[in-house]
Amino acid sequence: MGHNVLQLTKELIAIPSVSHWSNAAVSNFIEDRLKRAGFEVERLEYTYKNDEVKVNLVAKKGTGTGGLAFLCHSDTVSGMEEEWEPFQPVVKDGRLYGRGSCDMKGPLAAVLAAVADVETAHLEKPLYVVVTADEEIGLFGARHVVRHSKVMQESRPTHGIVTEPTRLIPVYGHKGYWFIKVTAHGKAAHTSSGEGQSASFRLAPFLAEMAALSEQFQRDPSYMNDEFDPPTNGFNMVFADDGQPNMTSATASCSISLRTMPNARCQEIMDLITTKAEAYGFEVKAGLSPAVYTPTDSPLVQAACHATGNFQPETVAFGTEGFHYQKLMELVVLGPGDIAVAHTVGEYVPVAELEAAVDMYKRMIATICGPARD
């Protein structure tokens, strides 16, 4: 042992790493820890819009391919300094308070403490720690890792733990998010001229079709999945146009969004809406962050159940950067702390959960990376 996870979390909190700015300082600290724990560290840098240098770390211990990756991020949301002292960690009543204590410097510290105790000689499969930038502002770091990390491409870890706070409950899935912006074009003119062509009237029949779909999704269970709370797909539409009562609108658009889930006909819905919009001749722009989903009987989810002693894995309502990794590996989300206090003034992690996480992560390493036991 000798790795005090509480102390380590405090040190991480005390190095501010709000997403908007560079995370180089906290990354240097983490890289040093990983190297001292026997990891080879691949450091990937890129520059964000405001010329801030962003750092991703991909660390590997042990040889060969496959194995278990801890998927973490080092950035945090804004400190909101006017309301508390976010970068001066404080322990009170068994809770550690500070920005990132639960999302996710606490979980990251638990990972660093767990992996430091693993002897390379005991690893039949390699172990990885991935620490990204920009998770809180678009998941750019994880995307960069998947595209550019040689270690990930060559070593291909088969199992990943996304260490977001789940109160140490194994989480096997979360919904994804799809949006589509549909724009109709018309011609702006004063209504007295008779020259206008209203983009809003062009869009209206499409909007009516979307309203009908919305009712259907609320009613028909084949568009739902009871594994999620709520089981419905959160279908939503907002509308904007640039006209006025006495001016026809030149453009009218609607943004439609959907919380995607497996086994709820989501691909069918996305295809249907896109096809309809295109058939009207509208301009269409869409984007998808897929759902994360691992069958509950998979070895990884089972290993998480055994490691935590909790045999009722759950789904969660929040998204993670896991979807960037899930083409490469099977995933489970598991970490100390409660997402409900993440991003708040007064964010905290229970110290007992932090300490328990270290042992749980160690048990998962032993199960996935060996050595084989008889």
Catalytic (active-site) positions: 75, 135
Q: What DSSP string runs through 201-252?
A: HHHHHHHHHHHHHHHHHHH-GGG--TTSSS-S---EEEEEE--BTTB--SEE
Nearest residue to 36 via CA among 106, 129, 126, 124:
129
Of residues 135 through 174, those in contact with Zn ion by CB under 5 A are 164
Determine which residue in the list 103, 134, 347, 353 makes contact with Zn ion, applying CB under 5 A: 103
Residue number of the CB closest to Zn ion reads 103
> Looking at beta carbons only, is 142 or 266 nearer to Zn ion?
142
> Looking at beta carbons only, is 19 or 22 nearer to Zn ion?
19
Please report whether residue 104 would count as binding Zn ion according to CB under 5 A: yes
Nearest residue to 100 via CA among 69, 129, 136, 130:
136
Please report whether residue 24 would count as binding Zn ion according to CB under 5 A: no
Cβ of residue 69: shortest distance to Zn ion, in angstroms? Answer: 16
Task: Map tokens 């309203």 to a residue.
Answer: 211
> Looking at beta carbons only, is 100 or 243 nearer to Zn ion?
100
Handedness of CA 320, 66, 148, 99 (dihedral sign): positive
Of the listed pieces 102-110, 180-188, 283-291, 321-329, which binds Zn ion according to CB under 5 A? 102-110
Cβ of residue 320: shortest distance to Zn ion, in angstroms? Answer: 7
Cβ of residue 162: shortest distance to Zn ion, in angstroms? Answer: 9
Cβ of residue 100: shortest distance to Zn ion, in angstroms? Answer: 9
Distances (CA, A) of 158 to 67, 152, 298, 325, 369: 6, 10, 12, 10, 11
Q: 161-195 burial, b for 16+ CB within 10 Å, e for fewer? A: bbbbbbbbbbbbbbbbbbebbbbbbbebbeeeeee
Please report whether residue 41 would count as binding Zn ion according to CB under 5 A: no
Of the listed pieces 19-27, 103-111, 259-267, 327-335, which binds Zn ion according to CB under 5 A? 103-111
Between CA 36 and CA 258 the distance in angstroms is 45
Quote the tokens at residue 288.
């998808």
Cβ of residue 17: shortest distance to Zn ion, in angstroms? Answer: 12
Of the listed pieces 38-46, 100-108, 239-247, 301-309, which binds Zn ion according to CB under 5 A? 100-108
Residues forming contacts to Zn ion in the complex (CB under 5 A) are 103-104, 164
